[in-house]
Structure 1
Amino acid sequence: MLALPNLSLYIHIPWCVQKCPYCDFNSHGQKGPLPEKEYIAALINDLDQELAWVQGRSLHSIFIGGGTPSLLSEAAIASLLDAIAQRITFEDDIEITMEANPGTAEAKRFAGYRQAGVNRLSLGIQSFENEKLKRLGRIHDSAQAIKAVEMAQQSGFERINLDLMHGLPNQDAQGALGDLKQAIALGPTHISWYQLTIEPNTAFASHPPKLPDDERLWDIETAGKALLKENNFNQYEISAYGLANDRARHNLNYWRFGDYLGIGCGAHGKLTQLSDNSIVRHVKVRHPKGYLEKNRPALDQSWQVDIKDRPFEYFLNRLRLFEEIPKAEYQSLTDLDPTGINEPIQQAIELGLMSDNRDCWQVTSRGHLFLNDLLDLFLVE
């Protein structure tokens, strides 16, 4: 029998000032005033259709992502969070994260977001080099990024994540480390540091920039990880580093195969249904025009995860974490006996990608280097 995991809520805000050339997220350049009231109403209506999936649980975390959520006013965010709280009980220590752009206009709203209930801010810095920011299509500069962090701290945010990229066009180790050093100096509690990749259906895919070769990328990653460790940022996931116990609760719930409601344009949800022992995935209408269309259901697609696919679905994110993987957790969240995956586990052990510690599995350092190869072992054709 499946167990009910923690329940989170993802809220997608689809608009941004302009589309970045590397971005493959569901985002749309802002054209004129945003339909704030209409979109908040649509989000609440969307949530109302999802309430049966709560099944008596309290909300573990909320993540407001995009797009650029900080294009919405403080009042809009406050009304949205109030409406959610009226419908679902919050855990006492709920984490409410909001992604924000470091631009000056958005930074002026930080205090209002904090007052509305947002208690964790994630700033999309990407780089502190103006030339790199311009190449990435970012609309802020280095000075604005630094000022935004300071304004977030002054606004009462004790938990601040900085998003940084490495492996940028013509970037060397010195440049990548310079970005990290500047980020660390600003005093965030968490840093997401990930490699730029060229995704299909992006401007960079059509006109690819020249990126560092594998040898330079290795040098950047090795030196960067050492620098973060020296400054007490603990790596707990492939691209996530936190001071002390600051780990992104919402993302941890994804990575641990938790449940999450998804509302907003193109939002995804993963939900456990005890009545029929099923795991269901939802996708909402992708385009803002369609999502805002009255009398049109927000739900676009829904399907059950086949039992044979549950091992792959479970490990898809779980393998990214550096913590042990309890066999009991695997069984409770998939309703599958761990002995059923003895063959791929044994292959992983023989390849040096995992170890078996009696009650838990552990991804090895080699396993994290060859994560795609490890994951493929659990894929059923």
Structure 2
Amino acid sequence: MLKHTNPVTALSLPPLSLYIHIPWCVQKCPYCDFNSHGQKQQELPESEYVSHLLADLAEDAALVGDRPVHSVFIGGGTPSLFSAQAIDRLLRGVRERVNLLPNAEITLEANPGTVESQRFAGYVQAGINRISIGVQSFQADKLLGLGRIHDDNQARQAAVIAHDVGLNSFNLDLMHGLPKQNLDDALFDISSALSQNPPHLSWYQLTIEPNTQFHSKPPKLPEDELLWDIQEQGHALLEAAGYEQYEISAYSKVGQQCQHNLNYWRFGDYLGIGCGAHGKITLPEQNKIVRTLKVKHPKGYMDLTKAYTSELKSVAADELPFEFFMNRLRLVEPCPKADYQKYTGLALAEDVQANLQNAINKGLLSETATYWQITPLGRRYLNTLLELMV
């Protein structure tokens, strides 16, 4: 890691979000490396866990005072395993403990295999205004290969319900680069998703992660040339349908970007509560940025003799440049140069300028007097671009 010796300047407060982790799902998918645990729905410690989430939030709230919270994201696992009553209690408790803006985007992740119209309507009544539905594919054989518990009909029905219950927006999660997937398969999935007219579509490539079933028994995935054809032609389909790519793996209709995820990529702050949740908080009065990590396993997290936070540490100054650009360069929009110093507290050091110039010379970044911006080539070779930032 390069050492960045430029002096630290005053930090500015970025927008603040809240992430809430619900770790249970019906069964663990073979590609999933998230902190999730298979559990029968009737055995979920729903009420107990909500109590712990709110106690966890009460402790973290001291870090942010009355700062406004612009968005909430309830992820998992499968949060839609929790009842509407539990989500209502959770959100009422959130409003009592932090300054949640009246117009805040509040997203809940849902699995089409657990979707019921009555439950979706209940989530809306509880305050959920955006749902992210983990479709992944509209083909039965691909869903089976991914270990998903829903079928293609349930995937389509989930989108219909989302349209009908009065949400501000909803997202469909879709994967490509699947085992035994060809170009026609991938484009069929995109066309099927588009036929549901979602305001937002997350479209990302399957990767094999450590500590997953796919890592221990890797499936055969499409070759790089086919992956590029899928990405190129899939991107063209989405653009032709009126969707704008605003992040490497995210497309939306105009004005329907996920505000919570935008805050992540813009190097915003976020409280993270629940099992294994991560947080990032700027503390201007101490001139530092801290990261938090919560106890990972549900039994340990709900052990009253232990703290919820397993780690709280300051981000070292020489780590901040990479952290900033690793997030910010995922976005298609221009990155204001002023944001670097504003949100890291660092002047732009010579070695960072050299890294940026190297990326510009390779055609991965463009630059004006006031901003940097990832190029189409940079989007294709994002990992190469990020490696240059180290």
TM tier, smaller: over 0.9
Query: Partner of 2:4 in structure 1?
Result: none
Does residue 125 (structure 1) correspond to residue 135 (structure 2)? The answer is yes
Query: Partner of 2:19 in structure 1?
Result: 10
What do the CA deviations read for 1:263-296 (whole angstroms, capped 9, x no partner)?
0000000010112110100000000000011131
Moved more, 148-157 or 317-326: 148-157
Query: Partner of 1:370 in structure 2?
Result: 381
Does residue 278 (structure 1) correspond to residue 297 (structure 2)? The answer is no
TM-score (norm 1): 0.97
Does residue 208 (structure 1) correspond to residue 218 (structure 2)? The answer is yes
Query: Partner of 2:231 in structure 1?
Result: 221
Deviation at 1:105, TM superposition (A): 4.9
Deviation at 1:11, TM superposition (A): 0.2
TM-score (norm 2): 0.95
Does residue 167 (structure 1) correspond to residue 177 (structure 2)? The answer is yes
Percent of paired sites with the same residue:
56
Structure 2 counterpart of 1:109, which letter?
R
2-structure distance, mates of 1:37, 1:295 = 19
Stretches (4+) displaced over 6 A = none
- 8 Å contact from structure 2 (residues 201, 250) kept in 1: yes
Query: Partner of 2:360 in structure 1?
Result: 349
The counterpart of 1:307, out of the listed 317, 320, 328, is 317
The counterpart of 1:296, out of the listed 306, 309, 329, is 306
2-structure distance, mates of 1:374, 1:339 = 18
The counterpart of 2:57, out of the listed 32, 47, 50, is 47
Does residue 95 (structure 1) correspond to residue 69 (structure 2)? The answer is no
The counterpart of 1:262, out of the listed 260, 263, 272, is 272
Does residue 337 (structure 1) correspond to residue 347 (structure 2)? The answer is yes
What do the CA deviations read for 1:203-229 (whole angstroms, capped 9, x no partner)?
111111111111111111111000000
The counterpart of 2:146, out of the listed 108, 133, 136, is 136
1-structure distance, mates of 2:117, 2:149 = 13
The counterpart of 2:195, out of the listed 185, 207, 212, is 185
Three-state SS of the structure 2 residue aligned to 1:157 is coil
Query: Partner of 2:331 in structure 1?
Result: 321
Aligned counterparts, 1:67-86, within 5 A: 67-86=77-96
RMSD (Å), alpha carbons: 1.1
Deviation at 1:106, TM superposition (A): 4.7
The counterpart of 2:38, out of the listed 29, 54, 70, is 29
Structure 2 counterpart of 1:4, which letter?
L
Deviation at 1:351, TM superposition (A): 1.5
2-structure distance, mates of 1:93, 1:105 = 25
Does residue 236 (structure 1) correspond to residue 246 (structure 2)? The answer is yes
Aligned residue pair count:
379
The structure, 1 or 2, with the larger RCO (C-alpha pairs under 8 Å, 6+ apart) is: 2
Three-state SS of the structure 2 residue aligned to 1:59 is strand
The counterpart of 2:122, out of the listed 101, 112, 116, is 112
Three-state SS of the structure 2 residue aligned to 1:188 is coil
What do the CA deviations read for 1:144-181 (whole angstroms, capped 9, x no partner)?
11111111211112301000001111111111111111
Structure 1 counterpart of 2:205, which letter?
Q
Query: Partner of 1:199 in structure 2?
Result: 209
